[in-house]
Structure 1
């Protein structure tokens, strides 16, 4: 009898724990298998961003821990990137168009430049305008960029800027920021927009 009671209590605790986790994560109807299949990896606990200040494409100072009130997808890249950056930004523009209006209006796309030597705010604004003028561009000095990349686990290798036409090695993964400004997870590269358009709306839809 005692064993049966113990098993029932344990089962209730597991179910309650799973329910609380789903409520807290906002993924009550999410299928973890489908999320992973779409390349979405959610962190067990939100991760607070460091208190760092960057400069946006309009030359204005922006604290990186103040991107709130919307979900954000953050990509580390640069304007002189020959392949993965323009491809990823074009995919993100397409993805926005595939999402339902509520999810689309609750999404911010951010490009963090890993090439501060060449990517001025003016250059970022011009470049992002080719894809979507609503995209946000951020730049900063190299130490600030490295602190941010380490904090969100998106690595890049600083380039040898003495070489002509240098390139920067960087990750193609996206960082997911929640509307409270914390990191919630990643989207693995390469992006699969057909799967993402099915899984992101439940995450991005504003909560009533």
Structure 2
């Protein structure tokens, strides 16, 4: 190899290294930018996905549903109840609005689920009627309190079981939403209060992930 050829080889190697570092920096910056945009929209992804126990619940049609049946789509779990005076109707109305503004491809990959924290009053019929006011595609799930607490603890969405002996009782619960991935594991949270505009912008990219 002549001196000229060596010089050319070294220059090409240096150029390849510089280009590689530049591309890596751009890609890293892009990934960091995506993460910042998600956080700004209230979407907090866990550094590592979390296994969710395969519990059995009942849906708004009175049919048994295991959590494993939620695989295949991104699932938003909202822990609330139909007699809730404020947080629940507001959140469900926002989720309906967000869904209506998403492209159809994103809607096909997304499932909205209300997990009732008031199984005493939220019968399947009550859940179905209530969710019908918002979106008939929304899923309602109910289960005994011990099962609900296992699920709530597993996805870190706290609620306090109510004293059902009191007339007109309310249930203290979080407005945050749990995010399950298509593999059935928990991928993160959506913080309350919801920012509809920013979620509409970020959810399509999120649901493309496997």
Within the candidate set 153, 157, 161, 1:154 is matched to 157
- Residues 166-205 of structure 1 deviation map (CA, whole Å, 9 limit, x = unaligned): 0000000011111111110000000001111111110113
How far residue 29 of structure 1 moved from its aligned partner, in angstroms, is: 8.4
Equivalent position of 2:82 in the other structure? 79
Farther-moved stretch of structure 1 (27-36 vs 117-126)? 27-36
Instruction: State the superposition RMSD in angstroms.
Output: 2.2
Unaligned ranges ≥5, structure 1 = 1-7, 20-26
Distance 2:127 2:185 in 1: 24
Structure 1 residues 81 and 39: CA distance shift in structure 2, 3 A: same
User: Over alpha carbons, which structure has the higher Rg?
Assistant: 2
Structure 1 residues 30 and 129: CA distance shift in structure 2, 3 A: farther
Aligned residues: 188
Within the candidate set 107, 112, 116, 1:113 is matched to 116
Farther-moved stretch of structure 1 (146-155 vs 46-55)? 46-55
Given that 1:124 and 1:137 are in contact with CA atoms closer than 8 Å, whether structure 2 keeps it comes out as yes
- Residues 78-105 of structure 1 deviation map (CA, whole Å, 9 limit, x = unaligned): 0000000000000000000111111111
Quick check: 1:42 aligned with 2:45? Answer: yes
SS of alignment partner, residue 65 of structure 2: strand
Counting only pairs closer than 5 Å after superposition, residues 80-99 of structure 1 correspond to structure 2 as 80-99=83-102
Unaligned ranges ≥5, structure 2 = 1-16
Equivalent position of 1:52 in the other structure? 55
TM-score by length of 2: 0.84
TM-score by length of 1: 0.85
How far residue 31 of structure 1 moved from its aligned partner, in angstroms, is: 1.4
Given that 1:53 and 1:62 are in contact with CA atoms closer than 8 Å, whether structure 2 keeps it comes out as yes
Quick check: 1:175 aligned with 2:153? Answer: no
Distance 2:136 2:204 in 1: 22
Equivalent position of 2:205 in the other structure? 202
Moved over 2 A (4+): 27-30
Given that 1:81 and 1:167 are in contact with CA atoms closer than 8 Å, whether structure 2 keeps it comes out as yes
Given that 1:156 and 1:170 are in contact with CA atoms closer than 8 Å, whether structure 2 keeps it comes out as yes
